[in-house]
Structure 1
């Protein structure tokens, strides 16, 4: 069983912001595979389904970003999911809009949601799909909590489709195959 987690902040005021691309990507994947995100537990909203014949859980933690690890810890302990079967999808200010980077381990890179996950899981060995949201031109908070212009939203939609394809490869084959195929992806 794989756990796909999209990071974001709960609440209408955060919908479609740069910091919520993880939520948006999970919604896109849920739509493609007809997975209903209709269960509330583990400090999150989640749903179960299948991708490539493999059981998956899609999770959107409903803690704020900096406490995301609490939700992951609860669901991982309940379902006994190994860390290398966890895929976390989140925003990255160090990548240009629509660029994708997949990794199997590493530091938080300053991302508070990832810091929380590493602290709560006690490991940095889980798969990450980092979606570029571009560098902050002014202050970081207003950048990550800001909304995308329409052209950038279109780039994100392309990126979400590639994340979905990379998840299929990770599940069916290996994270390394997905990295080799998609780590140079940049939406046009």
Structure 2
């Protein structure tokens, strides 16, 4: 059975819940809820498992804190003997507006601490889904911004993208990174595009 590792980045602890830096956790929580599975506290992280058409999907929320995320990713790749091409990491990104997203097959860490540590341990060659959190903060206030909580209004903008991220995970597992990028990146420009995509799907 082919295996896939889907990693959502964030920080553990109630003080970090619903913060912008925990958007990766939020995507996995939504996906797990939709899949009717629950996370268990395991080595280096909270883990849940499901299967999609005969493929095993392991969801991982690292418990290492953001800047040591690579430890959890490397451990679970090795433990489950998962090919790196079957790894997808989901993170927040201040370079994209709130509600926008971008899926890439590989690339730099973009200054993100979690992606930076993963890159140190396994290189740049893995897929990543970057979820926009906006950058509406004064100079020097980035840390306060990323560790700040989403407002209800923010969540209304973000929720359609979180829902679409679930579709992206399923497509990544079933169709691969290239087809998934072609299909979904056109919707990643911002909340309006995501909403339009949702409307299209309902037609």
Q: What TM-score does the superposition give when structure 1 sets the normalisation length?
A: 0.95
The range that moved more, 11-20 or 146-155, is 146-155
Q: Which residue of 1 aligns with 2:94?
A: 93
Paired residues, number = 186
Q: Which residue of 2 aligns with 1:36?
A: 38
Paired residues of 1:5 and 1:89 also in contact (CA < 8 A): yes
Instruction: Using the TM superposition, give the Cα deviation of residue 136 of structure 1 relative to its aligned residue in structure 2, in angstroms.
Output: 4.2
Q: Which residue of 2 aligns with 1:180?
A: 182
Cα deviations by residue, 1:71-98 (Å, 9 ceiling, x for unpaired): 1111111111111100101100000001
Instruction: Using the TM superposition, give the Cα deviation of residue 34 of structure 1 relative to its aligned residue in structure 2, in angstroms.
Output: 1.4
Q: Which residue of 1 aligns with 2:145?
A: 143
> 1:49 & 1:16 partners in 2: Cα distance?
24
Paired residues of 1:108 and 1:114 also in contact (CA < 8 A): yes
**Aligned CA-pair RMSD:** 1.1
Instruction: Using the TM superposition, give the Cα deviation of residue 144 of structure 1 relative to its aligned residue in structure 2, in angstroms.
Output: 0.1
> 1:152 & 1:22 partners in 2: Cα distance?
16
Q: Which residue of 1 aligns with 2:8?
A: 6
Q: Which residue of 1 aligns with 2:127?
A: 127
> 1:64 & 1:174 partners in 2: Cα distance?
29
> 1:184 & 1:100 partners in 2: Cα distance?
10
Cα deviations by residue, 1:59-117 (Å, 9 ceiling, x for unpaired): 00001100000111111111111111001011000000010100010010100100110
| Structure 1: 4+ residue segments shifted above 3 A | none
Query: SS of the residue aligned with 2:121?
Result: helix
> 1:151 & 1:180 partners in 2: Cα distance?
30
Q: Which residue of 2 aligns with 1:171?
A: 173
Q: What TM-score does the superposition give when structure 2 sets the normalisation length?
A: 0.88
> 1:58 & 1:154 partners in 2: Cα distance?
25
Instruction: Using the TM superposition, give the Cα deviation of residue 152 of structure 1 relative to its aligned residue in structure 2, in angstroms.
Output: 1.6
> 1:5 & 1:136 partners in 2: Cα distance?
26
Cα deviations by residue, 1:109-156 (Å, 9 ceiling, x for unpaired): 1001001101112x2111101000001412100000011221221222
Query: SS of the residue aligned with 2:46?
Result: strand
What are the within-5 Å matches in structure 2 for residues 20-169 of structure 1? 20-41=22-43, 43-121=44-122, 123-138=123-138, 139-169=141-171
